[in-house]
Structure 1
Amino acid sequence: MPQSPSAASRDEPAIRDRGDACPGALRLHAADDGFLARVRIPGGMLDGAAARLLADAADRLGDGHVDLTSRGNVQLRGLGESCGGELAELLAGAGLLPAPTHERVRNIVSSPLAGLDRLGLPDVSPWVAELDALLCASGAAAGLSGRFLFALDDGRGDVTSLAADVNLVPEGDVRARLWAGDPREAVLVSSQDAPRAALTAAEYFLDAVREAGTRAWRVAELPPEHALSGARLAERLADAGVGAVVAAPDLSARSAPSVRSVRTPEPGIVPGPDGTASLSVLAPLGRLATAQWRRLAGLTGRVRLTPWRGIVVPGLPGHAAAPALAGLAEAGLVTAPDSPWRSVTACTGKPGCAKALADVRADARAVMERARGPLAVHWSGCERRCGHPRGSAWVDLVATPAGYDLHVEGREPRRGVPQHELAPALADARHADHVRHNLPDSVQK
């Protein structure tokens, strides 16, 4: 039986009998539309030169598109079987392969608007480069799976909602809260030690995996008797020369942040604290043509990719923001919160995935103008639900041989909805009253 959205959003303990098969930039994945490469972009932070080289790779070696993932990484599709060496050379020249042995473990998400808006929250972006360098220099860290995730949250609760394995959040100007798995098992460390402490937490996980005799890929997969504890983490940090104390319980952190508390980037202009502005846009279904990608990269020479398949362009003069945003809208990007594509995601589907039972992207395009609503929706080509959202409620459409199964938390699933009934059924589900009252005000409008 398919999982409900709430169940599908959680990692569950699992017994692994092999290493993970996550694709990377060097480990290509064979798909029905050619080979796929996943390029890790720590914190989603790219400079313009590296972004343009990714576009060159997509044009020369792939299908001319750049796909965004739910971890703020990039995928290139339609690659030839023999292009691995040329792709690696291009990526190395762009600075995107600093440590080939570690390229799949550089999974770091950070608050995309950190330091860019007027909320006055600490800027955690410097932690990204430091943690990435520490990861790449750690021999032990090469043993992490390609699914292990670090989240560096500036306090707004956006990336700590993503069920990361290791989480860091500033507490004031000089301390940070760190936890691995269960937020009730947090410790406090100094801000300057935070990246080193995060790496130590990951190494603690690897030791727990060995002690348990499992092949767990994620902290949530550890057996209960080997769960990571705040007290033991503090001891390990002390042994590594990092001062740490077990944190007092934070009642707000007993579970993932509520939907209302999460501040994810809205499409539009983000005024900055210094008179500059950032642009926040979304790529429909997470896919950009290289012309769109180059346009974004050329605005200021910097982009930040978000775990919600969006792009933030920082550093525009305030007066230039509105014309630039209008140009991105003309280029086909989502630039306003009322777009029908505001919170719509999909897996690859047919023809790119052999397991898919439908061309979910085409089906989504066919109905979304008639199926607007405040609740997010994810289209899945099969019951694996690849790329599904995390940290919030959503409408779950799953392709089956008999049509689409439609799930929304708290309702009985609708089975085998045919194509001609999808638009009204989906619109009704996206306005579900029992979940809508928990959505952020900005999404309800």
Structure 2
Amino acid sequence: MPPTPDASAPGPALPDRGRADACPGALRLHRADDGALARVRVPGGLLTAAQALVLAEAAEQLGDGQLETTSRGNVQLRGLGSDAGAELGGRLRAAGLLPSDTHERVRNIVASPLAGLDGRGHADVQAWVRELDRRLCASDWAAALSGKFLFALDDGRGDVAALDADVTLIARPGGAALLRLGRAATARPVPAGGAVDAALGAARDFLAALEAAGRTAWHLREVPGLLDPGPLELPAPAGPHPPAGVLPGGLSVGLRFGRADAGQWRLLAEAAADGLRVTPWRGVVLPGAAAGWLPRLAAAGLRTEPGSPWERASACTGTPGCAKSLADVRADAAAALDAAEQPGVPVHWSGCGRRCGHPGGTWVDVLATGQGYRVTRGEASVEVTTQEMAEAVAEARRMT
């Protein structure tokens, strides 16, 4: 498994992007083997029930009837016709999901999904999300950010702070915050009331520094030392994610590989008394939903029990949706997970060396080779057949 990029690595070893990124959006569709793909940005993962229904209807009428959640809490539609862009854009604008055509790909904002529900945290990051999104869309300069540039708004519990976003705000007691740049080990202090100003300022400083240096980059981590990270030591991010089941203030539901069909999505919208929060861990939090919904959600094929081997398991698209993939990784991964008896460290299946959608931190890398899979955890790696893969993955996830 390739090592996670190190913020202290020397600049010459890091990429200088000579082209604009091709990250898909709601208007810039990506051509895949199973049709066009649209990625709808959902800042903070926040959706009203009505907006969720609009997405379900669009997936059913314009695409393959499936919706995918991403590692940034966004939503993708697949299997779209080549001429579906205009119709999809109109539906999204009417639902308030496309406030700016020129900024729609840069609205990448994740936020603590349990903020305000369980009594933890130090800030109303949902308010931060809305203000940051509004001001991003109103700033001409922000349209120059990469479609991969990510803001993370952590209420102080350390969940989305563990995602190593380009700009991370971590709420502190009394309304103050810490501002982390890329994967820096230190942070800048932010006074009460200045969180969104600080996040926007860091993004703008990044673009200005790139221009002054004559470089092109998508992420802050690609150009270490470009901006002063600040003097304060960061608390270690806790990195917890909401387990499936009943939570204080609502429910948490897991989606297999982040996918749900239109019927499942409608059921989530029906259960969502106070809207939906799409998480970066390919699940959905339903604030205000009663525990009585769990049997119906489980009967529909959604994950509602904690402690499943499916927790912290992800996979790329694989075949038949991706021409580069060497295997139907989702089918193989599902068989392995259904046969497993317990959860473990994060695991990700990839159909090729790009490893699209892999998690950060420590994870088991399951890479298709054309003859089977290579299962890697740290320095330990083993080549296995597809039939042997489930046992090898279970063992790797148990390793201490």
TM-score interval, normalised by the smaller of the two chains: over 0.9
Between Structure 1 and Structure 2, which shows a larger proportion of helix residues? 1
For residue 374 of structure 1, the aligned residue among 319, 341, 344 is 344
**Displacement of 1:13 after TM fit?**
2.6
Question: What per-residue deviation string (whole Å, max 9, x for no partner) do you get for residues 44-103 of structure 1?
Answer: 000011110011110110000110000000000000001111010000011011011000
**Displacement of 1:403 after TM fit?**
1.2
Alignment match, 2:226: 227
Say yes or no: does 1:294 pair with 2:263: no
**Displacement of 1:186 after TM fit?**
2.4
Say yes or no: does 1:399 pair with 2:400: no
CA distance, structure 1, for counterparts of residue 6 and residue 332 of structure 2: 23
* Map 1:6-405 → 2, pairs under 5 A: 6-7=3-4, 13-119=14-120, 121-222=122-223, 224=224, 227-230=226-229, 248-252=231-235, 257=237, 261-271=238-248, 277-299=249-271, 300-316=273-289, 321-371=290-340, 372-390=342-360, 392-405=361-374
Query: Do 2:311 and 2:343's aligned partners in 1 also have CA atoms closer than 8 Å?
Result: no
Q: TM-score, normalised by structure 1?
A: 0.85
Bigger drift between 117-126 and 293-302 goes to 117-126
**Displacement of 1:120 after TM fit?**
5.1
Query: Do 2:120 and 2:157's aligned partners in 1 also have CA atoms closer than 8 Å?
Result: no
Amino acid at match of 2:180: W
**Displacement of 1:184 after TM fit?**
4.4
**Displacement of 1:410 after TM fit?**
3.8
Alignment match, 1:437: none
**Residues 1:55 and 1:251: Cα distance change in structure 2 (over 3 Å):** closer
SS where residue 136 of structure 1 aligns? helix
Question: What per-residue deviation string (whole Å, max 9, x for no partner) do you get for residues 238-267 of structure 1?
Answer: xxxxxxxx6x522535xxx3xxx2221111
Percent identity of the aligned residues? Answer: 53
Bigger drift between 104-113 and 424-433 goes to 424-433
CA distance, structure 1, for counterparts of residue 227 and residue 6 of structure 2: 21
SS where residue 160 of structure 1 aligns? helix
Amino acid at match of 1:340: P
Alignment match, 1:432: 399
Query: Do 2:244 and 2:252's aligned partners in 1 also have CA atoms closer than 8 Å?
Result: yes
Amino acid at match of 2:355: R
SS where residue 313 of structure 1 aligns? strand
**Residues 1:376 and 1:174: Cα distance change in structure 2 (over 3 Å):** closer
SS where residue 174 of structure 2 aligns? coil
CA distance, structure 1, for counterparts of residue 203 and residue 123 of structure 2: 23
- Alignment size in residue pairs: 394
RMSD: 1.8
Unaligned runs of 5+ in 2: none
Q: TM-score, normalised by structure 2?
A: 0.94
CA distance, structure 1, for counterparts of residue 145 and residue 363 of structure 2: 30
Question: What per-residue deviation string (whole Å, max 9, x for no partner) do you get for residues 13-58 of structure 1?
Answer: 3121100000000000000000000000000000011110011110
Bigger drift between 130-139 and 371-380 goes to 371-380
Amino acid at match of 1:164: A
Query: Do 1:334 and 1:342's aligned partners in 2 also have CA atoms closer than 8 Å?
Result: no
SS where residue 280 of structure 1 aligns? strand
**Displacement of 1:315 after TM fit?**
1.6
SS where residue 422 of structure 1 aligns? helix
CA distance, structure 2, for counterparts of residue 46 and residue 351 of structure 1: 30
SS where residue 308 of structure 2 aligns? coil
Unaligned runs of 5+ in 1: 231-245, 272-276, 434-445
Query: Do 1:47 and 1:303's aligned partners in 2 also have CA atoms closer than 8 Å?
Result: yes
CA distance, structure 2, for counterparts of residue 410 and residue 7 of structure 1: 13
